[in-house]
Amino acid sequence: MTGPTGIPTEMLLAIESSCDETAAAVVHEGAVLSSVVSSQVALHAEYGGVVPELATREHLRNLLPVVREALAKAGVALGDLDAIAATRGPGLPAALMAGWTSAQSLAYVLRLPIVGIHHHEAHLYSPWISPGNPPRSQLAELRPHVSLIVSGGHTLLVHVRGLLDHRILGGTLDDAAGECFDKAAKLLALPYPGGPVLDRLAEEGDAARFAFPRPLLHEPNHDFSFSGLKTSVRVFLQKHPGIADDPNGLRDVCASVRAAIVETLSGKLLKAAASCGVDTLTASGGVTCNRGLRRALTAAAARRGWNLRLAEPTHCTDNAAMIGVLGEHRLRVDGPTPFDTETDPGWELASGK
């Protein structure tokens, strides 16, 4: 199968290395034949956060094994590939370079076209990868919607008017939601990675016990700001020494912090959808794994009779399947990326058309 550019896109290898996970996937006409992720969580746990130099070293060590495993799981040989897609930005500079230059080298040796993919744009369309065996893209069914991209480093609201046609409505002015989760968890002395641990503890806590701010929730804009909420958690803990040492108190603080973040995210998303006149919502990115957020968005959409698509948990965190699914479309529409193109760690998500 070829697109308008004449580029064959029947079998595509995708590579992702924007932060601390090395990933590869094989995509065939929208079907994800394999998706392999090598996580570095255990490595960075000792330091309480991602160490860029260590992340890059692990990418260099893991890239070839991960690619080999993805090809083997898909039952595909290098000679069967028609194209390669890889994350070109944004992300950690050296980590991006490890994956992008590896993909360039592979494409050059195999004489295949390569397409550079924007990491956030891949997240943007990841809710349209449906579950199943194999997972399959449903981008052909895409309808106008507002999307929440929420992760450790980014919180964005995007109006998607059509496939590859989108505009940013607002973003974070300081800390992203994922950062707020992680920093609150660190203040509570929770183990790394703190956000998921806080989420688990919140499941057993009383979210109404403590009141934390919902920043910018009622402001007439689509922006986010979570630095003040992080500060309020620190001040609260200073005024209530020892509360985190009490199991019930710890769970209640976690539940109350989560409720503040979730209510802010869901409230801003719902207002943005209403202002854009759409009745479909999507959410993606690592924080979309948060159980409180998934429940809140599901309940809010149900109350309004709106459509909701949440990225599958395996496609919320960094993965190459979403890179490959978007790569097929970008290659067909835009053609290959020139081989001398460099990575762009600060690449901003622009309008798709």
| pLDDT value of position 43 | 75
> Is residue 202 domain-shared with residue 220, that is, in the same domain?
yes
pTM for the predicted model, two decimal places: 0.94
| pLDDT value of position 296 | 98
Mean local confidence (pLDDT), 335-351: 92
> Is residue 54 domain-shared with residue 124, that is, in the same domain?
yes
Domains contained in the chain, number: 2
> Is residue 300 domain-shared with residue 250, that is, in the same domain?
yes
Identify whether 343 is part of a domain: no
- Please tell me which residue, 181 or 39, carries the higher pLDDT value: 181
Considering the chain, what percentage of its residues have pLDDT values greater than 70?
97
> Is residue 152 domain-shared with residue 48, that is, in the same domain?
no
> Is residue 53 domain-shared with residue 108, that is, in the same domain?
yes
> Is residue 325 domain-shared with residue 300, that is, in the same domain?
no
**Does residue 211 surpass a pLDDT of 70?**
yes
- Which range has the worst mean pLDDT, 22-26, 56-60, 76-80? 56-60
> Is residue 49 domain-shared with residue 117, that is, in the same domain?
yes
Looking at residue 225, the DSSP 8-state letter turns out to be: -
Identify whether 326 is part of a domain: yes
**Does residue 2 surpass a pLDDT of 60?**
no
Look at residues 263, 239, 253, 265 and name the one whose alpha carbon lies nearest to residue 198.
253
Identify whether 350 is part of a domain: no
Tokens in use for 164? 């590859």
Place 332 in a pLDDT band, splitting at 50, 70 and 90: very high
> Is residue 159 domain-shared with residue 289, that is, in the same domain?
yes
Identify whether 99 is part of a domain: yes
Place 352 in a pLDDT band, splitting at 50, 70 and 90: low
Identify whether 348 is part of a domain: no
Identify whether 341 is part of a domain: no
Looking at residue 16, the DSSP 8-state letter turns out to be: E
Q: What is the mean pLDDT of the chain?
A: 93
> Is residue 155 domain-shared with residue 303, that is, in the same domain?
yes
| Domain residue limits at 113 | 12-135+316-334
Over residues 308-317, the pLDDT tens digits come to 999 999 999 9
| pLDDT value of position 20 | 87
**Dihedrals φ, ψ of 230, to 5°?**
-60, -45
Over residues 239-298, the pLDDT tens digits come to 999 999 999 999 999 999 999 999 999 999 999 999 999 999 999 999 999 999 999 999
> Is residue 95 domain-shared with residue 39, that is, in the same domain?
yes
Q: In b/e form, how buried is each residue of 193-219, taking b as 16+ CB within 10 angstroms? A: bbbbbbbebbeebebeebebebbbeee
**Does residue 197 surpass a pLDDT of 70?**
yes
Cβ proximity of 56 and 159 under 8 Å: no
| pLDDT value of position 126 | 97
| pLDDT value of position 5 | 53
Mean local confidence (pLDDT), 8-36: 92
Residues 6+ apart with CB under 8 A from 6: none
| pLDDT value of position 7 | 53
- Please tell me which residue, 69 or 47, carries the higher pLDDT value: 69
Identify whether 340 is part of a domain: no
CATH number reported for the structural domain that contains residue 301 in this entry:
3.30.420.40
Going through the chain in order, the beta strands assigned E by DSSP cover 12-16, 21-28, 31-39, 83-89, 114-118, 129-130, 136-137, 145-150, 155-162, 165-171, 280-284, 307-310
Quick count: other Cβ atoms within 10 Å of Cβ 281?
A: 24
> Is residue 80 domain-shared with residue 178, that is, in the same domain?
no
**Does residue 10 surpass a pLDDT of 90?**
no
Over residues 213-241, the pLDDT tens digits come to 999 999 999 999 999 999 999 999 999 99
Whole-number Å distance between alpha carbons of 34 and 14: 10
> Is residue 321 domain-shared with residue 303, that is, in the same domain?
no
